[in-house]
A and B are shown apart, each in its own frame.
Chain A
Amino acid sequence: MLRKRIIFTLIYSDNYFNQSRNFRLQRVGDSNWLKENYKFNKIAHSIDELIILDATRGVKSINNFASSLKKIVSNIFIPICAGGGICKIEDARLLFQNGADKIIINTLLYKSPEIVAELVKIYGSQSIVASIDYRLNDLIPEVYITNGTEKIDIKLADYIEYVQNLQVGEIYLNSIDQDGTGFGYDYNTITMISSILKVPLIIAGGAGNEKHLLEGILIEDVSAVATANLFNFMGNGLPVARNMLNLNNINLANWQDY
């Protein structure tokens, strides 16, 4: 049976890893800090995938990001999805060459659909994850691009249809309101949009503990739950969370340690 997934998201910015709260970044530590607090080669069996996002504000250096990516992913044998600031085919190629198995794109979906089509043609739908950020205004979800700074005038449901028509392989739906709060996922919006989904859905924004991961993963149309909460899952937080989901008979993959 196809398993559900637990995904950990790392928010990278200018050589640092960050805790994001409503898309405001707080520096937590550099790659040494990450190594000490998240021994991915040891705890990789408690996550199914790793997403690494370059959320650097202003000018991003894809070369710096690619070299950080390469360092993080050595000796972990799980799918790696990387992105943040991909503007052209060469950017995607660089990330693939430095350890990405998939790429994640956001602003590009809206601004350069022709490049998205080209990426799909070269790398296939299954390699492209569409990241969609939204926040609620009077309970209506509104879509934002450019690190959550620029509102676009398309309804969330219509935007989901639009990105699905671009032939992306998965959708990473992130609530800016819930981001980093630890209050749990935005279950209302997730449930509302689930009927129009044709591709697997990854939900993000709000998970502060394993109970939230459990609540999210129990939603039928949710394929994967993601958390970017660096503080709440430090040390053995991720193994503890997976164990708790296993105790609740969630349909997760099993591996032995290595």
Chain B
Amino acid sequence: MKIGIVDYGMGNICSISSTLNFIGINDICITNDFDELMSVDKIILPGVGSFANAMKNIKNKKIDIYLDEIVLKSNKPILGICLGMQLLSKSSDEDGLNEGLGYIDAVVSRFQNSEIKIPHVGFNQVDVCENSKLFQNIIKKPDFYFTHSYRMISEKNINQSYCCYGESFIASFEFNNVYGTQFHPELSQINGIQLLTNFLNIF
């Protein structure tokens, strides 16, 4: 199996690729080239940093146009991680309102509760939705590592699982061939390894 990690200059790509290696995936291409991305079986969209910056980089490199083709037309499975997950939404209000890739009917905005410390950092439990495939063979209410100041919400059913930090927000979703986790599976020990294995094996 060949996995493509989208390289748009932002993200802890090292941790993700070493986790994939551990799972037994050695054919990894870290790229922003259309033909290379078309040649892989599955795509991971990583991301650390600001939404606005990320979308700017993606548009400058025309990655948005490539991904539309690969994700919407060729239906390749894609997993967005942390900021990468947020980029799959319609918009975020981080540094002004910015459009996302728009594959998911969801929006991203800052945590609303003023009582909590921002960012939300550390392991937190996920309330896994029924019918989840991403969380197969993972213990109930599993702990995953989060680190973010903005969170995703949606009124639609996108097979979302929730996490709570002062308020309830989307921890993950599984919608057609588009998947996302607000947490970092690659930093979440055995739970994360199992989740990534599920993404690779099931979809």
Contact = CB atoms under 8 A, between A and B. Distances in A.
A64 to B, nearest CB: 18
B149 A48 contact: no
Given A74-B18, A126-B148, A169-B119, A2 B187 contact: no
A102 B15 CA distance: 11
Interface of B: 10, 12, 14-15, 18-19, 22, 48-50, 53, 83, 117-125, 139, 143, 145, 147-149, 164-165, 184, 186-193
B14 A98 contact: yes
Interface string A85-116: 00000000000111111100000000000000
Given A80-B15, A121-B53, A124-B149, 12 more contacts: A3-B123, A3-B125, A77-B15, A77-B192, A101-B12, A125-B119, A126-B147, A170-B119, A170-B121, A199-B117, A200-B119, A256-B190
Given A44-B189, A45-B190, A123-B48, A256 B139 contact: yes
B33 to A, nearest CB: 20
A6 B193 CA distance: 21
B184 A101 contact: yes
5 contacts: A75-B22, A78-B187, A126-B119, A197-B117, A198-B117
Interface string A41-81: 00011001000000000000000000000100111011110
Contacts, number: 119
Interface in A223-258: 223-224, 253-258
Contacts of A5: 122-123
A156 B121 CA distance: 23
A3 B189 contact: no
Contacts of A75: 18, 22
A130 to B, nearest CB: 13
Nearest to A124: B49
A14 B118 CA distance: 35
A100 B15 CA distance: 8
B101 to A, nearest CB: 19
A80 B19 CA distance: 13
A9 interface: no
Considering the complex of A and B, which 3 residue pairs feature the smallest CB-CB distances, nearest first? A253-B123, A253-B143, A258-B190
Given A75-B18, A257-B190, A122 B49 contact: yes
Contacts of A2: 120, 122-124, 165
A146 interface: no
Interface string A133-163: 0000000000000000000000000000000
Contacts of A100: 12
Given A75-B22, A122-B53, A127-B48, A45 B122 contact: no
Contacts of B22: 75, 77
B189 A77 contact: yes
A1 B164 contact: yes
Given A75-B18, A257-B190, A258-B189, A199 B119 contact: yes
A4 interface: yes
A98 to B, nearest CB: 7
Contacts of B189: 44-45, 77-78, 255, 258
A47 to B, nearest CB: 10
A3 B124 contact: yes
A102 B122 CA distance: 13
A70 B14 CA distance: 9
B130 to A, nearest CB: 21
A125 B187 CA distance: 18
Contacts of A224: 122
Nearest to B188: A77
Nearest to A95: B14
A87 B115 CA distance: 34
A45 B189 CA distance: 7
Contacts of B121: 126, 169-170, 200, 223
Contacts of B148: 126
A54 B119 CA distance: 25
Contacts of A44: 189
Contacts of B143: 3, 253-255
A97 B14 contact: yes
Contacts of B125: 1, 3
A77 B117 contact: no
